[in-house]
Amino acid sequence: NNQHREVERYDRALQHVETHSTDLEQSKYCLNLAQRSVWCMLSIAIITSATFGFLSRKMTTEELAFFIGVIAILVKSLDNFGFMYGKYQAALINMRLANFRGEDSSAGLARPLYRFSNNICVRGLTLR
């Protein structure tokens, strides 16, 4: 009987996780679509500007290289942003699960594993 009750509690907690995981995956797919659209537009802009710039002799080789470098930095930043967004959302889901109290919290039987404050602090960080 107690085992059945624990399985039901776990299933209820798992439904909560599945909902957030589904939302996370949907948002990552939307973000990926937006990134691919931006990359496609950037590629078209590079090809168009290079074609018109070289044909009209208004763009030098150095300017084209600079332009391509700036675009590459932007593309890399967008890629990192999408990766960090997914990691951030997964961390929020894990944080909520760590504080999950279950149905016995009103009786005072369960305590949260962690306490989170409004401040985020990083200690011992080194750059290599």
Asked if the structure places residue 115 within a domain, the reply is no
Asked if the structure places residue 72 within a domain, the reply is yes
Identify the DSSP state of 53: H
Asked if the structure places residue 123 within a domain, the reply is no
Asked if the structure places residue 58 within a domain, the reply is yes
Asked if the structure places residue 74 within a domain, the reply is yes
Asked if the structure places residue 127 within a domain, the reply is no
Asked if the structure places residue 122 within a domain, the reply is no
Asked if the structure places residue 35 within a domain, the reply is yes
Return the closest-CA partner of residue 64 out of 106, 2, 72: 72
Return the closest-CA partner of residue 35 out of 68, 84, 91: 84
> E-assigned strands of 1-128?
none
Q: Beta-carbon neighbour count of residue 31 at 10 Å?
A: 16
Q: What is the mean pLDDT of each run of 10 residues along the chain (128 residues)?
A: 83 78 80 80 79 76 80 75 74 68 50 57 65
Total domain count, the chain: 1
Q: Find the domain containing 7 and state its range.
A: 2-107
Virtual torsion, Cα 46, 51, 55, 58, nearest 10 deg: -10
Q: What is the pTM of this model?
A: 0.42
d(CA 16, CA 18): 6
